[in-house]
Amino acid sequence: MILENTFADVWIEGEVSNFKAAPSGHFYFSLKDKDSVIAAAMFSRSNKDLKFKIEDGLKAICRGRIDVYPPRGQYQLIVDNLEPKGIGAQQLAFEQLKKKLAKEGLFDSAHKKELPVMPFSVGIVTSSTGAAVRDILQILKKGARGVNVVIRSVRVQGEKAASEIAEGINDLNKFSRQADESGGGIPHIAGNKVDMIIVSRGGGSVEDLWAFNEELVARAIYASRIPVVSAVGHQINLTLSDLVADFFVETPSAAAKIIVDKKNSLLAEIDNLQHQLNFSIQETINNLNNSVIALRHTLKSPLDRLLEKQQLLDELYSGLSNNMRSFLKLTRETAGSYIKRLEALSPLAVLSRGYSLSMAISNDVIIKDASGLKPKDKVKTILGKGSFISTVEEVNNG
C-alpha cells in the first residue's frame, strides 16, 4: 500500500520483453533495463487507440501507476500511456505498416499496371471543393477537352477520410465493371467506363496527409483493377498511397499533365504513321516505275505490250493514290467526329453551354430534387466559369 499510494503516477523507461496480447484485448509485458525488470499491464481501455504495434525489443516510455497483482503478490506497472522512445508514435506506426505491406508485396513493380495509351475517361477520388480537383479540371480543359471526367467526392482529411477514399476507389471499379458486364453503349464515348483513377489532394502537413498512409487506402489501391495514379500534394515524404499506386506524381497538376502528354503523344504517333504510310506508298510506286524502265530496256519489242503495261501502271498509281487520299480523309473525319462527340459529352462542355451544377454545402451532395432543400439552406453552384454560394429563399417542389 505504501508504494501504491506513493507512486500513483510514475514514468518508467525501459525495453519491452515477453509481450503478450490476451484475447480480452489486454496487453501484458515486462519493462527492463540492464539492472532490473518490472511486470506491466496495459488494459484494453488504454491501448485501444494505439496506432503502432508493441513488440519485444521496443524501447518505450510508459506512464502509469504501481499496483500489486494479488494472485502472485507481485508489483506491476499499470500502464495508461506508452510512447516509443526516440521516434513518434505516428512515425512508428507508418514504418511498421510500411514494412508489413512491403513484405506482402504491395509495393512490388511486378504488380503495377500500365497506364492506358490514351485514357478517354478518368475517375478522380478527391474533395469536390478542394484546390486539387480545380487544378486537374483546368489543365484538362486546356489540353484534353475530349476526356470524360468522373468525380467521386470524398473527405481527404480527418477521421473518416481513409474509409471514404477507399470506398471511392472501390466505387469507380464497380462502376466500370458494371459497364463491362452490361456491354451497352460505345466504349469511352458514352462515359460508361473509367480507364484511369487519380487519387488526389492538395498539399499539407504530415498529419493532413495521414489518410493516405492508412492500410485501408493502400489495400484499396492495390486491389483496383483500374490503374491508379497517386497525386498527393507533397514535396518530401512519400505516402503509402504513392508506394502502392501504379504511378505517382507530387502534385494534382502533374497527374492531369500525364493525360495531356499522352494525348499529344498519340497525335504525334498518328502523324508519324501517316508520314510513314505516304513514304511507303511513294517508294512502292518508284520501285514499280524503275521495274518498268528496266523492262523497257530489256524488251525493246513488242513495244505495244510495254506501253500497255505502262498504261496499267499509271492506272494503278492513280487508283492507289485516290484510295489512299480517300482513306486518310475518312480517317480524319471519323477521328474528328469522335473528338467532337467526346467534347460534347464532357461535363465541362455542358457547363460552358449555360448549364450549372448545384450541391448542398452541408454534405457536398449534388442536388437533383428540390424536395431535399429547405429555406435558408446554403447551396454552391458551379458554372462553366467560376462558382457562387447562395441561400434558399423558397422551395418549389412542383
- For 261-312, write each residue's pLDDT tens digit: 888 887 778 888 888 888 888 888 888 888 877 766 665 556 667 777 788 8
Whether residue 208 sits in one domain with residue 106: yes
Same domain, 126 and 196: yes
Is residue 398 one of the residues assigned to a domain?
A: no
Rounded to an integer, what distance in angstroms lies between the CA atom of residue 242 and that of residue 99? 15
Q: What pLDDT sits at residue 171? A: 92
Give a yes or no: residue 106 inside a domain.
yes
C-alpha 151 chain-centroid distance: 12
Beta bridge partners of 151: 124
Q: Among the three residues 65, 86, 107, which one is the final residue of a domain in this structure?
A: 86
Residue 343 resides in a domain? no
- CA torsion, points 113, 114, 120, 126, in degrees to nearest 10? 50
Expressed as residue numbers, the domain containing 274 is 262-338
- Number of structural domains (the chain) is 4
Q: Is 348 part of any domain?
A: no
Calpha distance 354→56 (Å, rounded):
65
Whether 181 and 225 map to the same domain: the answer is: yes
Q: How many CB atoms lie within 10 A of CB 301?
A: 7
216 and 137 inside one domain:
yes
Instruction: Tell me whether residue 216 is in a domain.
Output: yes
Report angle CA 129, 137, 180 to the nearest 5 degrees: 100
pLDDT digits (tens, 9 = 90+) for 134-180: 888 888 888 888 788 899 999 998 889 999 999 999 999 988 777 66
Distance, in Å, from the CA atom of 213 to the CA atom of 53, rounded to the nearest integer, reads 16
Residue 42, classed as helix, strand or coil, is strand
Residue 397 lies inside a defined structural domain of this protein: no
- Do 252 and 193 lie in one domain? The reply is yes
Percentage of the chain beyond pLDDT 70 is 87
Q: Enumerate residues 6+ apart whose C-beta is below 8 A from 113.
A: 226, 227, 246
pTM summary value: 0.52
The grid cell for 297 is 530496256
